[in-house]
Amino acid sequence: PGTSDLGEELLRCVECSRRSILVINPLITDNRWIEALIGARARGIRVKVITELRENRGSGLKYPTRGFEVTPHKVLAEHYMAVRQLATNRILCRGFRHYAHAKILVVDDERVIVSSANGTPNSLGWGQEPSVEAGVAFNDKPAVGKVVSAFNQLWERCPFRLHLLENDVSLQESAAGQQDACALEMAQGEGGDMVWSYPPRERSLRDTLVRFVSHARERITIVALSFYATDEIPAIHAALLGALNRKVRVTVIVRPEHFSADQYPDQSTKQLLEHGLQLLGIPALHAKGIVVDDSAIAIFSANINPFSLDSEAESAHVEFGFCEDGKIQLLEPYGRWITALEEAAVYEYRR
């Protein structure tokens, strides 16, 4: 099971903030997390949150305009109640047109935590069923500057915004929704590279994964909650097949209880297994990342499926990743952690 180390660090950073807090996270239900954000705002800290403001489960999208708790889904109901609570306490909340699956915390424009954790008790490590999560914290100035710049651009392009009017919360759609939200001006230079998946056209996360896999010489380890339908992401599927055909050792670690035994592995994954893919399972796994040889590492929020990497549907995901290629500095400990998960796996899928 997971630990609360990541959750405690996230809370500590919020509670020690002096000027500003920037958050992207799809689910916010944990009371300690909510109280920390509200407490920071009460101290005069500027708090901006990009989160999910619409329900995209089931058939079609729903747009709650009052009382964000109106949904049959328990976790989403708790999330909407939390969002209402944040907005009532004058925390600025906005939402993407697509599902906000990225997980980022920026404190005082000086420290960034990129992680897999949602703002829920299980993700933060103190729920009844804690998940296996991981994150990377860094205060490298060029890297932090890139994340802050991207956040500010995304913030201005968020079409859905909460407004507090006479002690009630109203969801409004602004003209920002007409802008090309994926046309981010990425800062260049040292400090690693940011990569995104932002429908319908921004696919730098997918393209980076393809490049990493295509250049692999000896081994690839991929960690994600889910891994399926790679044939619907043709560039990823072809790169993985190419690596396997070059006799690169490719290991994928997923969360086994996430799949029905009679439906998984799916056909595209079976094809990869037939070519030598090693598919392992770790219960409660929710972390995401990749290690390629000793030369490339990435931490990201995406699962390896079309919704995270290549879909144009409104329910497709906005994902974020941070990677280093060639010169590994900030992510080296994360790479070692991912590699160690191979020894911790308790389940192996057969061909």
With a cut of 80, say whether residue 17 has pLDDT above it. Answer: yes
- Reported as a single tens digit per residue, the pLDDT across 279-315 is 999 999 999 999 999 899 999 999 999 999 988 777 7
Query: What pLDDT, on the 0 to 100 scale, is given for residue 1?
Result: 59
CA-CA distances (angstroms) from residue 61 to 55, 97, 304, 316, 339?
Answer: 6, 10, 23, 12, 39
pLDDT for 188 equals 47
168 or 300, greater pLDDT: 300
Predicted pLDDT of residue 73: 74
Q: What are phi and psi of 14, to 5 degrees?
A: -65, -45
Residues 6+ apart with CB under 8 A from 340: none
Question: Could you identify the residue written with the tokens 């941070």?
Answer: 322
pLDDT (0 to 100) of residue 69 = 52
Q: Determine the pLDDT at residue 244.
A: 98
pLDDT band at 233; cut points 50, 70, 90: very high
User: How confident is the model at residue 329, as a pLDDT?
Assistant: 86
The reported pLDDT for the residue numbered 200 is 83
Q: Write the pLDDT tens digit of every residue in 204-213.
A: 999 999 999 9
Residue from 135, 129, 121, 117 nearest 1 by CA: 129
Does pLDDT of 14 surpass 90? yes
- Tell me the per-residue pLDDT of 74-133, one tens digit each, with 9 for 90 and over: 888 899 889 989 999 999 999 998 889 999 999 999 999 999 999 999 999 999 999 999
Q: How far is Cα 183 from Cα 90, in angstroms, rounded to an integer?
A: 29
